[in-house]
Structure 1
Amino acid sequence: MTRPDSRQAGTESFDYIIVGGGSAGCLLANRLSRDPSMRVLLLEAGGKDNYPWIHIPVGYLYCIGNPRTDWLFHTEPEAGLNGRSLRYPRGKTLGGCSSINGMIYMRGQARDYDGWAALTGDDAWEWQNCLPDFKAHEDHYRLDDGNDPETGGNGRFSDMHGHGGEWRVEKQRLRWDILQAFADAAVEAGIPRSDDFNSGDNEGVGYFEVNQRSGWRWNTSKAFLRPALSRPNLSVWTHAQVERLTFETDGSGRKRCVGAVLRRQGQAVQVRSNREVILSAGAIGSPHILQLSGVGPGSLLKSHGVEVVHDLPGVGENLQDHLQIRAVFRISHARTLNMLANSLSGKIGIALEYALRRSGPMSMSPSQLGAFSRSDETQSHANLEFHVQPLSLDAFGEPLHRIPAITASVCNLNPTSVGTVRMRSARAQDAPAIAPNYLSTDEDRRIAAESLRQVRKIASQPALAKYQPVEWKPGPEFQSDEELARLAGDIASTIFHPVGTTKMGRDDDPMAVVDSRLRVRGIAGLRIVDAGIMPRITSGNTNAPTLMIAEKAAGWILRERNGFQPGT
């Protein structure tokens, strides 16, 4: 039986080396190691996912900003945020971001994937061809009894969702009157109700479904990696940070990735791949590793004294993220987490409810109620996402406010602002410079202003009147587009969805890093499988799409292996 850290690296060779034990990496390790003839190595720079707060849903509060589970990145000062720098959490543990994220299961919109297919010229990315990859690992609670909840047999829901896979999807185990009132107010403001955000059109208001099992966080390490650990052909090394990839040149001058140099428990180790190296270190980690290895914009690499292996200008470009604007309303006559968690009796009650029932605030994802709407009547689709919470704080990881309040965070689902991830030095230990370039376009600033107006419209509806909501942040005195865009810069924060920094694209796209099958352009034996390959960000939370990408890539890799010839 192979367990994490059970083998020493030495100079071992493997068929597949997966760099990054996060969401994509854990799924890939499971799928690729199914063939006992293939030796698979999974490398994770962080540790095992044995920290208790990883598994208690509210534990994200103790994992974000914790060096045990978070890379502790920060953005560069952002002009669109009025010079502020944001904390930029990324998971540093087995399970990666699925061990510290908001647990929301959200695929996005069908149009996202149809757009990827058009950009890449590959219909494998169309929604209808991605749906089987979503369903392949899904285990949806509504199908637990074997029947479609809509028809009692086979029907629309079972056409859209899977059951029996590794990735558990459940409803949340809590109820807040103030959230139900907000949902009713959203309907009064013209947003329809939705009982399924994952059918290809997520417009509407309803409760998020979450990746939990019986009140515990369900991360990708538990779902995909642990069932595979008994396979003798799978090795998992934690505390193994890749410093650079290694390459060889064949007789025709073609470069091939043949392994990696890493630091493990203070020792330099080199490993070799007989088939492929797969980067799954995420939209921040993967471009950084490529740049450290000499693959990226030539001028950037030379400026840091890195030998250029392959000049690939798109590496680290095209960073896209969802910026959430956190509107806070002080309320009356309703229970909120602020008041419960700031009293001793409230804390005891919260702990007892979770201990006895696995429910209540300790089972909460960061956001419970969701809504997808259009910022104005000219939009052909929902372009705003609301995350509504019965609490308020300045940012996740900060203390709850000591006033009764709720937060209605709203983000532009399709931002036009793009940024960069660039190495600061040739040292792997030095964090890259992350510059999302938020609110840098007129369109993004306009939609930011409109989104705040929509929050105010919902808050003014009769369904919320008895709770007497009063806008606390940003403040009702700000009304013009210019004022609201500036205030958005003061109060907005990342919603932790970085994508796009190693995007896929057509052969004639000079900024495409990978082809439509996720193979790095110009280098054999190297593939990228993580959120970085998205050419455009999805219209929703990004963890479920990342797993779909990994599922699809695993299928391609397994089908290609029979025709593999070293050096081709």
Structure 2
Amino acid sequence: MASDSYDFIIVGGGTAGLAVAARLSEDPSQRVLVLEAGHDAHSDPRIKTPASWLSLLGTDVDWNFRSEPQPLLDDRVISLNQGKVLGGSSATNAQVFVPPATAVVDHWENTLGNASWNWETLRPYFAKAYTSPPVDGTMAETLGIDGWTETSTTHGPVRTAFPGDQSHPIRKIWADTFRATGHYMAKDPFVGSTVGSFTALASVDPATGERSHSAAAYYYPIKTRENLHVITNATVEKVSLNRHGLNHVTAKATGVLYHCGDEIKEVTCEKEVILAAGALQSPKILELSGIGNADLLRQHEIDPIIDLPGVGENLYDHIMCSISFAAVDELETLDAIFRQEPDALEDAAKRYAKDGSGPFSSMGVYSYAYLPVLKHASPEGRQKLIELLEEARPTKGDTPEHARAQAYYEIAKASLLDPKQPSCAYLAFIAQFVGAFESNTKSFTISAMHSQPLSRGSVHIQSKSVATAPKLDPKYLSNPLDLEIFAANLLQIETIIRTSPLSTLIKQPIVHRDPASNLTDLDSAKNWIRKNGDSMWHYGGSCAMLAREMNGVVDEKLKVYGVENLRVVDASAIPIISTANIQATVYAFAERAADLIKESHGLKAAGA
């Protein structure tokens, strides 16, 4: 269905873009075009095989972005990976499929002012996006979900599983450990999560053991639709805009300019251009189109069409640190696979080829926990927390930046003072992640990610050429409160690992694979973070759904301020970061975005 005109043009065939495309093309009268800069690697075994995700980083399916040097991370340059392939980062990520804490989503409406964006509104869209895995009742205890009083049964495009060896002891032991401390999540977190441990899903098809990503789940089952056209290796140069209104203060999106190879093409739209290029690319496209901070655009000889200073600001990301420990010899781990030992690789390959089982069917993360800083529950700890919050209070002012900073501070304050809201996500990894690697050893890792950073960075163009990578500055730990809270959370790993029955999986006396990770106080934890903190690649917020008076870029309908027929539907529009891995949240966000678009144009889903 090649054409020069469509009803909808979607820029980016990734996690959000293909989900929206599938839903909009349910109406056969609507012509939908998707432009993706990467290629179609649907049959690539590196993408299909869950355990191969690390081998994708820095390859032809990765944009391979790099940050500016981060002063508070010892001036290190951080790799900021993003999928450059049909399916986007859902085709290259670690497949973790977990929801945010309920209160986080409620803040989108209650604190940030986005009408009707709350947990109860968004929850059905999580359910619409994925299929929950079948569970044999006799395996519930082994899987660590026997205590769940309520579970979510769903039938969406993305297939999920409890991947890898379902009889592996870590799931039950992890659940029993947190039961003993009173921090076991008593229901499926997709029903509505607060704090506690749970067994995590992965975007892996339980029938095949293969990764389930947006191209496989949303696009390939419907790729024969005559009204849906997907073009790969297509780099969008800019959105075509027509100025109008009094003094040309508003504009209308009429199409996009893109190139394939050496050929430059322009396509037009009857209804909307929809940006889904991701948090590191959607701001770039807006700026190249003349939408953004007018002063910045003029610096790069771009005519400002809509002065929107929030474009590219408010960038957030999860910072992560890990600690690896020597595990008991009888624990089954992925260490030999990670060390690329020939015999282990050969055996794993045979098992995976036979029935999609074995080490290759999982990236090695089975269990999660959402927790606050537990010591802050004591009178002394709470007083210390109050003092830290007071020190972090933003300065007063009447600019949009001050208004936004104040709103995010209020969210952080409410979350940190509430013992039922998490400030950190912990994950169990059955292999060594840090320290010197030795042969014939087994390890167990606990990784922590700072759930609600106050630090905000930016992503902006560096020239008017689309070929130039954007300038990426996450400004990790630039808000001092982030380091204080994350360091306190990191110290909790030392407590968790010594709690029974989890301690039975760790060699005694405890051996840290990197001696510097033996954290004894806040100062040692802070030092470990500065030297080892890294990105979890959970970017968002750079085209935030906020009021324009808070430097927002899109409204609650995801429409770009000052521009008709232009929306943003990816993680860049999500105003505050999810509690942990953002994949599931992006799918739910895109599903709701598709409904908002349909409502605007009076469209119906297939069969409606």
Pick from 354, 357, 362: which aligns with 2:355?
Answer: 357
Q: In structure 2, do the counterparts of structure 1 residues 369 and 261 end up closer, same or farther at CA, with 3 Å as the change threshold?
A: same
Specify the SS of the correspondent of 1:353.
helix
Residue segments in structure 2 that go unaligned for 5+ positions in a row:
142-147, 383-415, 604-608
Counterpart residue number, 1:73? 65
The answer as to 2:523 corresponding to 1:482 is: yes
Pick from 431, 449, 452: which aligns with 2:487?
Answer: 449
Pick from 85, 93, 100: which aligns with 1:93?
Answer: 85
Counterpart residue number, 2:193? 201
The answer as to 2:537 corresponding to 1:496 is: yes
The answer as to 2:243 corresponding to 1:245 is: no
Deviates more, 1:350-359 or 1:546-555: 350-359
Q: In structure 2, do the counterparts of structure 1 residues 232 and 143 end up closer, same or farther at CA, with 3 Å as the change threshold?
A: farther
Deviates more, 1:342-351 or 1:293-302: 342-351
Deviates more, 1:379-388 or 1:460-469: 460-469
Which residue identity does 2:366 align to in structure 1?
Answer: Q
Counterpart residue number, 2:465? 427
Displacement after TM superposition at 1:202 (Å): 4.5
Paired residues in the alignment total: 541
Query: In the alignment, is the contact (CA less than 8 A) between 2:334 and 2:364 conserved in 1?
Result: no
Which residue identity does 2:547 align to in structure 1?
Answer: R
Specify the SS of the correspondent of 1:134.
helix
For the residues of structure 2 that align with 1:187 and 1:447, how far apart are their CA atoms? 24
For the residues of structure 1 that align with 2:219 and 2:94, how far apart are their CA atoms? 20
Trace 1:77-156 onto structure 2 (pairs within 5 A): 77-142=69-134
Specify the SS of the correspondent of 1:261.
strand
Displacement after TM superposition at 1:228 (Å): 2.2
Q: Deviations over 1:197-220 (max 9, x none)?
A: 222214222321111112111111
Specify the SS of the correspondent of 1:283.
coil
Which residue identity does 2:216 align to in structure 1?
Answer: K
Counterpart residue number, 1:152? none
Trace 1:109-508 onto structure 2 (pairs within 5 A): 109-142=101-134, 157=150, 160-163=152-155, 165-174=156-165, 175-177=167-169, 181-194=173-186, 196-213=188-205, 214=207, 215-250=209-244, 252=246, 253=248, 254-333=250-329, 334-342=331-339, 343-376=341-374, 377=377, 378=382, 379=416, 380=418, 381-394=421-434, 402=439, 403-463=441-501, 464-465=503-504, 467-468=507-508, 469-473=510-514, 475=516, 478-508=519-549
Displacement after TM superposition at 1:390 (Å): 1.1
Report the TM-score when normalising by structure 1: 0.90
Counterpart residue number, 1:566? none
Query: In the alignment, is the contact (CA less than 8 A) between 2:132 and 2:159 conserved in 1?
Result: yes
Displacement after TM superposition at 1:317 (Å): 0.6
Q: In structure 2, do the counterparts of structure 1 residues 142 and 535 end up closer, same or farther at CA, with 3 Å as the change threshold?
A: same
Report the TM-score when normalising by structure 2: 0.84
Counterpart residue number, 1:43? 35
Which residue identity does 1:375 align to in structure 2?
Answer: V
For the residues of structure 1 that align with 2:164 and 2:479, how far apart are their CA atoms? 40
Counterpart residue number, 2:47? 54
Displacement after TM superposition at 1:143 (Å): 8.2
Q: In structure 2, do the counterparts of structure 1 residues 179 and 131 end up closer, same or farther at CA, with 3 Å as the change threshold?
A: closer
Counterpart residue number, 2:400? none
Q: Deviations over 1:322-369 (max 9, x none)?
A: 111111212342342223554322222211221223122101135222
Displacement after TM superposition at 1:419 (Å): 0.7
Query: In the alignment, is the contact (CA less than 8 A) between 1:197 and 1:203 conserved in 2?
Result: no
Query: In the alignment, is the contact (CA less than 8 A) between 2:491 and 2:521 conserved in 1?
Result: no
Which residue identity does 1:100 align to in structure 2?
Answer: T
What percentage of aligned pairs have identical amino acids?
Answer: 30
Which residue identity does 1:89 align to in structure 2?
Answer: N
Specify the SS of the correspondent of 2:6.
strand
Displacement after TM superposition at 1:497 (Å): 0.4
Trace 1:507-546 onto structure 2 (pairs within 5 A): 507-509=548-550, 511-546=551-586
For the residues of structure 2 that align with 1:112 and 1:304, how far apart are their CA atoms? 37
Displacement after TM superposition at 1:173 (Å): 2.9
For the residues of structure 2 that align with 1:181 and 1:156, how far apart are their CA atoms? 19
Query: In the alignment, is the contact (CA less than 8 A) between 2:257 and 2:265 conserved in 1?
Result: yes
For the residues of structure 1 that align with 2:182 and 2:149, how far apart are their CA atoms? 25
Q: In structure 2, do the counterparts of structure 1 residues 341 and 303 end up closer, same or farther at CA, with 3 Å as the change threshold?
A: closer
Q: In structure 2, do the counterparts of structure 1 residues 34 and 326 end up closer, same or farther at CA, with 3 Å as the change threshold?
A: same
